[in-house]
Amino acid sequence: MPSWRKALKRTTGRPLGGSIEDFVVITGFSGAGKSQAMACFEDAGYFCVDNLPPEMILSLADLFQHEGSKVERAAVVSDVRGGEFFEGLLKVLGELEERGTDYRLLFLDASEHELVNRYKETRRRHPLASGGEVGGGIHLERQLLEPLRERADVRIDTTDMSANRLRKVVADKMLTPETEGKLAITFLTYGFKHGTPREADLSFDVRFLPNPHYEPDLRELTGRDRAVVDYVNNSDGVGEFYDKLEPLLDYLLPAYIREGKSHLTIGIGCTGGRHRSVVVAERLAQVYGDREDLHVDVVHRDVDKPPRRP
C-alpha cells in the first residue's frame, strides 16, 4: 500500500481542531468542464485533487480536519473515471453529513449533442463507451449521475459556455468575495539551454546579470543559497532592474485583474535556470506575496539540474 494511502487510512473517526473552511466536491458529465472548474478553485488558492475515488473522500476530509493541517479550502473531483468506486459517491456524501462535515456539491451538466461534439474534437475515449460509441457512454453516465444531479448544491449547464466563461460562472456561484478576484501568479524560473516554457504569459531574461556559474565557489550552489543571493543582489545593475521591473508589474497586475485574468505565469530565465533567475523570482515572490489581491507561487523548473561544466 502506498505511503499516502496508509496515512489516509489511519485517519478514522472525526478529528478535532481542523482548519478546513470550505470543502467542495465536483462531479458531473465527462467532458462537461470539470477540469476548468477545478482550475478556478486552484487559482483561488484551494487545495485540489482530481479523479479521487469516492472511498478516499472521507479519509481526505478527516485529514484536512486534523490539528496541524494548513488546508483551509479544498476541492476534489470525483467522476466515472473512478469506475466501480463512483457508485459509492452518494453513500460517501451521506456519511459526510452524518459526521457533521460541511461540504458543497457542484454538478456540471451539458447537452448530449454538445458532449458528443467535444469528444469528437478532442478524440478522447469516453470512460463508459463500449466499442468507442460515445452516445451510449453518455446515456449510461446520465443514469448514474441523476441522483447526484438532484442532490447538488449548484448545477451549471456548460453547453454554450467557453472555458473562460465557465470559470467566471464557477467563480460567481461558488467563490466567496475573499477568494473571488484574486489573481494567482506563478513565478516560473527556467534555463534557456533547457528550452523556454510555453506556459509563460510574460517572460523576463536576466542573463544580463553576472553569472555565478563562472565562480568556482558558487557553481554547485543555487539561487536558494545565501552566497549566490548576495552575489546576484550585489551585482551592478540589479538595483536599477528591480526599480524598473516592479513598477511595470504594479501597472500590469491590476490591468490583468480588471480583464478577469485568474492566473498569470511570469517566466524568469537565465542560462541554466539555477542561479540568477531563482534569486530574482524569490525576490519578486517576497515583494508580492503579502498582497491581499494576489495568490503567489514560485516554481523552479530547472534548479535541480546539474550545472554544465565550462
Q: Which whole number is the average pLDDT over 42-51?
A: 87
Count the domains in the chain. 2
Say if residue 84's pLDDT is above 60.
Answer: no
Q: Same structural domain for residues 92 and 117?
A: yes
Residue 79 included in any domain: yes
pTM comes to: 0.50
Say if residue 305's pLDDT is above 80.
Answer: yes
Q: Same structural domain for residues 164 and 208?
A: no
294 compared with 83, residue with greater pLDDT = 294
Q: Give the N- to C-terminal CA distance of the chain in Å, as an integer.
A: 45
Q: Same structural domain for residues 16 and 152?
A: yes
Averaged pLDDT score across all residues of the chain: 80
59: domain CATH number is: 3.40.50.300
Q: Considering only CA atoms, which of 46, 79, 40 is closest in space to residue 170?
A: 40
Whole-angstrom CA distances from 270 to 157, 243, 277 are 45, 19, 5
Residue 294 included in any domain: yes
Q: Within 10 Å of residue 197's Cβ, how many Cβ atoms?
A: 17
pLDDT digits (tens, 9 = 90+) for 4-44: 333 333 332 333 334 578 899 998 887 788 888 998 898 88
* pLDDT score at 7: 33
pLDDT digits (tens, 9 = 90+) for 153-188: 888 888 877 787 788 788 878 886 554 457 888 899
Q: Where are the beta strands (DSSP E) in the chain?
A: 22-28, 47-49, 73-77, 104-109, 154-157, 183-191, 202-205, 263-270, 294-300
Which of 141, 174, 207 terminates a domain? The answer is 174
Q: Same structural domain for residues 206 and 154?
A: no
190 compared with 133, residue with greater pLDDT = 190
Q: Same structural domain for residues 156 and 242?
A: no
Which residues span the domain enclosing 129?
3-174
Residue 310 included in any domain: no
Question: Is 107 in a helix, a strand, or coil?
Answer: strand
Q: Which whole number is the average pLDDT over 60-70?
A: 76
Q: Same structural domain for residues 197 and 231?
A: yes
Measured in residues, the chain has a length of 310
**Long-range contacts of residues 144-148, Cβ cutoff 8 Å, at least 24 apart:** 144/80, 144/86, 144/87, 145/27, 145/28, 145/29, 145/107, 147/90, 148/27, 148/89, 148/90, 148/105, 148/107
Q: Exposed, middle or buried: residue 140 (CB in 10 Å: 0-12, 13-18, 19+)?
A: middle
Q: Which whole number is the average pLDDT over 46-53?
A: 87
The C-alpha atoms of residue 31 and residue 5 are separated, in whole angstroms, by 28
The pLDDT confidence band at residue 290, using thresholds 50, 70 and 90, is confident
Q: Same structural domain for residues 144 and 260?
A: no
Q: Same structural domain for residues 235 and 131?
A: no
Which of 174, 194, 226 terminates a domain? The answer is 174
* pLDDT score at 11: 31
Per-range mean pLDDT, top range of 106-110, 171-175, 207-211: 207-211
Residue 37 included in any domain: yes
Which of 174, 192, 209 terminates a domain? The answer is 174
Residue 305 included in any domain: no
**197 — phi, psi (to 5°)?**
-75, 130
298: cell is 514560485
Residue 282 included in any domain: yes
What percent of the chain has pLDDT above 90?
Answer: 30
pLDDT digits (tens, 9 = 90+) for 218-256: 999 999 999 999 999 999 999 999 999 999 999 999 888
Q: Same structural domain for residues 137 and 10?
A: yes
Residue 23 included in any domain: yes
Q: Same structural domain for residues 125 and 260?
A: no
